[in-house]
Every structure is written in C-alpha cells, then in structure tokens.
Amino acid sequence: MYLAVAIDLFSRQVVGWATRDQADTELVVQGLLSALLQHKPASGCLVHPDQGSVYTSDDWRSFLASHGLVCCMRRRGNCHNNAPVESCLGLLKRERIR
C-alpha cells in the first residue's frame, strides 16, 4: 500500500491524500486532486514535488497545467523541499504503524 499526501506549507496541515497498491502517477494525481476539491487554491499555486519519476511524467505535468498549478521542482540533492512530507510520514509511522 502506498500513500500520497498533499501538505499546505503555510499551515503544515495535510490537505489531501490518496492510497493505492502501486506508486504511480494516478496515486499522486488522486492525492493532489483530493486537496484541490476541498481547498480550491488560486491559479498559479506552487506544487513542490520530489524528483521521482511520477512527478516528471507527461500525465502529471498535464494535470498541473489543467488545474492552473505550477510545478516548482528544485535541484537534485536539495532535502529541504521534501522535509515537510518526510516529517509527516515519519510521524505517521511512529504513531500508527508499530
């Protein structure tokens, strides 16, 4: 089971999530879509993914463009971009998966 989460970097709250049996583009699209349906961000809202293959796919880029979102992917090896999500997932593992 794989989990994709969308976090609002201002509030540090999880605003969307999805689970699937495989880590693919559909998983991350559904995770972000769940956030978009509830929160309706302004056009031009930044999305900060890591450099995984699902975030470089044409389907992902098309999804972002169709919702007026801008992908802000930093250079390789910059751990600060992914820190909020890694922190959230680490907490989830410590609290719920024992």
Collapsing DSSP states into helix, strand and coil, what is residue 8? Answer: strand
Q: Which two tokens stand for residue 1?
A: 């089971």
| The pLDDT value given to residue 77 | 66
As for how many domains the chain has, the answer is 1
Q: Tens place of pLDDT for every residue, the chain, 98 residues?
A: 999 999 998 999 999 999 999 999 999 999 999 999 999 888 899 998 888 889 889 999 999 999 999 998 877 766 666 788 888 888 888 888 76
For residue 84, the domain's CATH number is 3.30.420.10
- Domain of residue 40: give its range: 2-96
Q: What is the DSSP string of 11-56?
A: TTEEEEEEEESS-SHHHHHHHHHHHHHHH-PPTT-EE---S-GGGS
At residue 32, φ and ψ (nearest 5 deg) are -75, -35
| The pLDDT value given to residue 62 | 96
| The pLDDT value given to residue 49 | 87
